[in-house]
Amino acid sequence: MTELHLWLRHEVRSTERRTPLVPSDARRLVERGVTLTVEESPQRIFPAEEYEAAGCRTAPAGSWVSAPERAVVLGLKELPDQPGELTHDHIFFGHAYKRQPGAEALLGRFAAGGGTLLDLEYLVDDDGRRLAAFGFWAGYLGAALAVLQHRGRLTAPLTPLSKDELDALLRPVAGDEEFTALVIGALGRSGRGARLGFLTAGVEATPWDLAETRALDRPALLAHDVLVNAVLATTPVPPFLREEDLDDPGRRLRTVCDVTVDVGSSLNVLPVYDRTTEWTDPVRRLRKEPPLDLIAIDNLPSLLPRESSADFSSALLPQLLQFETGGPWGRCRDRFHQACRELGIVEGEFRNG
Ligand SMILES: NC(=O)c1ccc[n+]([C@@H]2O[C@H](COP(=O)([O-])OP(=O)(O)OC[C@H]3O[C@@H](n4cnc5c(N)ncnc54)[C@H](O)[C@@H]3O)[C@@H](O)[C@H]2O)c1
């Protein structure tokens, strides 16, 4: 009998409707003896009652702070700023291992409380491949928003929708001008999603991956009308776009969607902007004449919360079923300790490590 107690927390970001665990997969965990507490959450796409019907306990939003010490807190995105000391093991996307803004503060909170960040981005198999990721729908949406912006049909604020609604907006209509699109990172999850998003919009995108960027042909890049960047950078490479490229007289490029959003990191391949864009204001104009528009939203799959949650949850479930024995979680733990060391953060007590 497993002693695992998972605590699915409410997401603090009001636009975050996704969940890493959908009710049907929650039921599978409960059936295997996992204690599962689900916080109530006004915006989660699946209501708490569906989890209750699957055998989960429910708790008020944000009550993980007083969860039993051994409970493992499961979420997706950022934690609230308080408490300052984090005492639990937390599974979520911490965005803290590439020296992103706020990384040191977040890891410092874990070190101070003796908790551990098990970062979902670093839940990998023996070959280092990600085991659960939202990439496909992120790429699909990245391409979709870029197409809508390029065709003058993107309206703000963005709101979550169903795939049928999105596809209806994407399909070309009479009078739409043809344009060219480039997807970089085309062989990855997001890249494949982006290519399908473009195809739905009637555009066959040029697919570039590692082989095509090794000796980067910037004029060819700038000759496309629309660019979606979907690379997963692990070592620094020369940027795909620099400030001077935006002023290149040969630039056809008008619309960029950065799905990767490594802004502020030394791995950023698009260092031509310094902050993300948001659902309320999804597009930033980087150049006036000729125009160049940027979309850099870091929670794209939230726009299709049902599809992206189900996809992610089905990949995470087998890993959660092996939480106590699984090598991937051990690697996550090691990666956390390594990140603390790299930032010179001295951990207090390791409860598990
Ligand atoms: N904006 C969002 O909401 C959102 C959501 C999910 C994922 N992401 C991000 O999207 C990125 C891609 O995720 P993924 O799951 O598709 O990763 P992935 O590993 O499946 O694919 C990445 C691809 O990029 C390629 N690549 C790496 N370096 C490259 C280079 N220098 N030139 C060309 N190609 C290169 C790889 O070969 C691979 O095919 C990640 O940074 C991830 O964090 C963003």
pLDDT at 21 over 70: yes
Atom of ligand 1 minimally distant from the CA of 297 = 1
Q: How confident is the model at residue 15, as a pLDDT?
A: 81
For the cut 80, the answer to whether the pLDDT of residue 208 exceeds it is: yes
From ligand 1's centre to the CA of 89, what distance in Å?
A: 27
Question: Higher model confidence: residue 221 or residue 15?
Answer: 221
* Active-site annotation holds for 288: no
**How many residues are listed for the chain in this entry?**
353
Mean pLDDT confidence for 105-118: 96
The strand pairing partners of 73, in sequence order, are 7, 90
Residue 259 is labelled as binding a ligand: yes
pLDDT reported for residue 348: 66
Q: How far is the CA of 234 from the centre of ligand 1 (A)?
A: 9
Q: What is the pLDDT of residue 1?
A: 62
Q: From the candidates 5, 77, 98, 337, give the one annotated as an active-site residue.
A: 77
Pick the more confident residue, 97 or 250: 250
pLDDT of amino acid 350: 45
Residue 352: pLDDT band (50, 70, 90) is: very low
- Reply yes or no on whether the pLDDT at 95 is more than 80: yes
Residue with the smallest CA separation from ligand 1 atom 25 is: 185
Residues 223-247, mean pLDDT to the nearest whole number:
96
pLDDT at 91 over 60: yes
User: How many Cβ atoms sit within 10 Å of the Cβ of residue 15?
Assistant: 20
Distances (CA, A) of 325 to 103, 145, 328, 331: 28, 41, 9, 12
Domains and CATH numbers, the chain: 5-131+305-342 (3.40.50.720), 135-303 (3.40.50.720)
pLDDT, tens digit, 9 for 90 and up, residues 157-179:
999 999 999 999 999 999 999 99
Q: What is the mean pLDDT of the chain?
A: 94
333 is in an annotated binding site: no
Average pLDDT over residues 347-352: 54
Residue range 267-313, pLDDT digits in tens: 999 999 999 999 999 999 999 999 999 999 998 998 999 999 999 99
- Coil, strand or helix at 286: strand
pLDDT of 142 strictly over 60? yes
Q: How many angstroms separate the CA atoms of 53 and 68, rounded?
A: 23
Share of the chain above pLDDT 70, in %: 98
Give residues with Cβ within 8 angstroms of 306, minimum separation 6: 45, 162
User: Of the residues 10, 88, 95, 150, which is catalytic?
Assistant: 95
CA 100, 101, 102, 108 torsion: positive or negative?
positive
Using DSSP bridges, classify how beta strands 292-295 and 284-287 pair: parallel, antiparallel or unpaired: antiparallel
Mean per-residue pLDDT, 44-59: 97
Alpha-carbon distance of 107 to 336, in angstroms, equals 8
Tens digit of each residue's pLDDT (9 = 90 or more) over 211-220: 999 999 999 9
How large is the C-alpha radius of gyration of the chain? 21
Residue 347 to residue 353: CA distance in whole angstroms? 11
Tokens of 181: 């699109």
Say how far apart CA 51 and CA 236 lie, in whole Å: 43
Q: DSSP string covering 94-125, please? A: ---SS--TTHHHHHHHHHHHT-EEEEGGG-B-
Residues 237-262 have a mean pLDDT of 97
Kindly state the tokens that stand for 308.
């992206």
- Is residue 326 classed as helix, strand or coil in its secondary structure? coil
pTM: 0.83
Question: Cα(189) to centroid of ligand 1, in Å?
Answer: 7
pLDDT in tens, 277-288: 999 999 999 999
Q: Could you count the other beta carbons within 10 Å of the beta carbon of residue 2? A: 13
Question: In the chain, pLDDT over 90 holds for what percent of residues?
Answer: 89
Strand partners, 38: 8, 58
